[in-house]
Amino acid sequence: MRLFLLCLIFVQFAHAGVLSQWRGLQRNGHYSDNFLLQTWPEGGPEKLWHVDNLGKGFTSAAVTSDRIYITGVFGDEGWLFAFNHDGKLLFRKSYGPEWTRNYAGTRSTPVVVDDLIYLESGQGVVYCLRALDGSQVWAVDLLKKFHSRNIDWGMTEQLLVDGDRIYCTPGGPRVGMVALDRLTGKTIWTSPGNGELSSYCSPILVNHNGIRMLITMLQKSVIGVNAETGELLWRRSFPAPYDIHANMPIYHDGGVYVQAGEGGIGMVLKIAADGKSVAVLWENDNMDTLTGHAVLIDGFIYGAGYPRKGFQALDWNTGVSQFEARDFTRSNVIVAAGRIYVYTEKGVVGLVKPNPKKFELLSSFRIREGSGPHWAHVVIHDGRMYIRHGDVLMVYDIREK
C-alpha cells in the first residue's frame, strides 16, 4: 500500500511538472512551507546572502529544489540568471529585446516546468528556454503573430502553464487569449477578440462544476474561457482607471473576485452552474489594489489599497471590512504557515497575523539595499524568503528555530 501511494505521488508530480510558479504553485499567493518563524527578531530575520548587478527588473525569483532563476535588463536586452542555493552564479544568458520605456525592466517571472523555462518579455515575446543553460528552444512574438499591439507599460503577463499548454493573452481585434503547445510554441487554439488589448493581468485556471475555465481580465472586462477549446463562455464589463487590470482574479465557492486599482472598484461575480454567465454578488471601492494582489484566507480577502487605502480584510460574501491599516497601503501580499507577508512600496516587510476584525502586525523590517520601486513580490521556498529590489536579490532564513 505504501509503495502504491509513493508511486501515485510520483506520477502526480511528474504529470504536473511545474517546479516554480508565479505566486506559488497554485498561483494564489499561498505557499505550502510549514515550520516558519511566527515572529521575527528585531531588525528582521537573518539574511543569508544577496546578489546584485541583476539589471533593471521587477520580477520575482523562480526557485526550484536546486536553482534560483531571475531576470533583468541591461541596455535593451533581457537576461536570465541562474544561481545555486548558496548564491553562486551558474549562468547568465541573454534571451532577447526587453522593455526599456516607462519603468524599464523585466516584468514576467520565469515559470519552470521540468527542464524548461517560460517567460514573456515586455515586448510581448514568449520564450521557451532550457533550464540547464538558458539556451532558446523556441520563441513566439504574440503581438506580431496575433495582430495586436503593445500596451502603455509593456506586456506584464505571468504565463500559465498546464500540462502541454501555455495560456497567453495577446488581446486585440482578432484574439483575446491563445493556447500554445509548450514544447513547440505552435498554436493550439485562439479565443475571439473584441478589440480590447491585454491589460497586465495573469490568468487563472479553475475547475467550475467540471468545466476547466480560464479567467482573466482585458482592458475593460473580465472574461471566462473554456480551457480545452478557447470558447468564450462569458464576459462582464469591468472598466479600470487607466486600463490597468494588474491583479489576478481569485476563485472561491463558485465565484470570482476581481479588483481594479488606483481608485477602481472590486467585486465578486457568481458564476452560473453551467459556466456561461455571471451575476454580481457585491461591488464596492473598499480596496483598490493596483499591483499588490490579494490572498483569500478563511473566507476573507486580505490586501492593500492604492494609492491611499490601507491594508484590509474584505468579507467574501459581503465585501465589508472591519479595519483599515493605512501604514500598509501600496503593498503586495502572500501567505505561508499561517502568516501574511506584506511588502510595501516604501520597502517595509511586515509579518501579519490573519484576523478579519483587526490589523495584527507581529514583526517588520526595512529593505535598505537596491533602488527603485519596491514592486517585486515576495517568494518563499524551503524555509527561505526571497525579496528582489531593483538589481538586488536578498535571501533570508525564516525557518522556525
Residue 338 is assigned to a structural domain of this protein? yes
Decide if 305 is inside a domain: yes
Q: Is residue 399 part of a domain?
A: yes
Encode pLDDT of 311-325 as tens digits. 999 999 999 999 999
Q: Write out the three cell numbers for 188.
A: 493550439
**pLDDT at position 217 over 80:** yes
- Write down the pLDDT at residue 3: 34
Confidence of residue 8 (pLDDT cuts 50, 70, 90): very low
DSSP code string of 15-66: HH-EEE-TTTTTTSSEE---SB-SS--TT-SEEEEEE----BB-PPPEE-SS
pLDDT at site 294: 98
| 313 and 355 Cβ atoms separated by less than 8 Å | yes
Judge whether 88 lies within some domain: no
Residue 133 in any domain: the answer is no
CA dihedral 187, 193, 196, 197 (to 10 degrees): 10
pLDDT tier at 145 (50, 70, 90 boundaries)?
Answer: very high
203 confidence band (pLDDT: 50, 70, 90): very high
Q: Can you give the pTM of this predicted structure?
A: 0.94
User: What DSSP string describes 176-234?
Assistant: EEEEEETTT--EEEEEEP-SPBB-S---EEEEETTEEEEEEEBSSEEEEEETTT--EEE
Cell (9 digits) for 143: 503581438
Q: Is the pLDDT of residue 1 over 60?
A: no
pLDDT at site 308: 86
Range with lowest mean pLDDT among 8-12, 23-27, 131-135, 249-253:
8-12
In a domain, 264, yes or no: no
Which of 227, 366, 249, 287 is CA-nearest to residue 236? Answer: 249
Number of domains composing the chain? 1
- Read off the pLDDT of residues 349-395 as tens digits, 9 standing for 90 and up: 999 999 999 999 999 999 999 999 999 999 999 999 999 999 999 99
Asked if residue 126 belongs to a domain, the reply is no
Domain containing 331 equals 41-51+292-374+376-401
Higher-pLDDT residue of 16 and 135 is 135
Domain membership of residue 316 (yes or no) is yes
| Amino acid 401: pLDDT | 86
**Could you tell me the three cell numbers for 301?**
480577502
* pLDDT at residue 29, as a whole number: 98
Please, are residues 97 and 76 in contact by the beta-carbon 8 Å criterion?
A: yes
Query: What CATH code is carried by the domain that includes residue 309?
Result: 2.40.128.630
Contact 71, 106 (CB under 8 A): yes
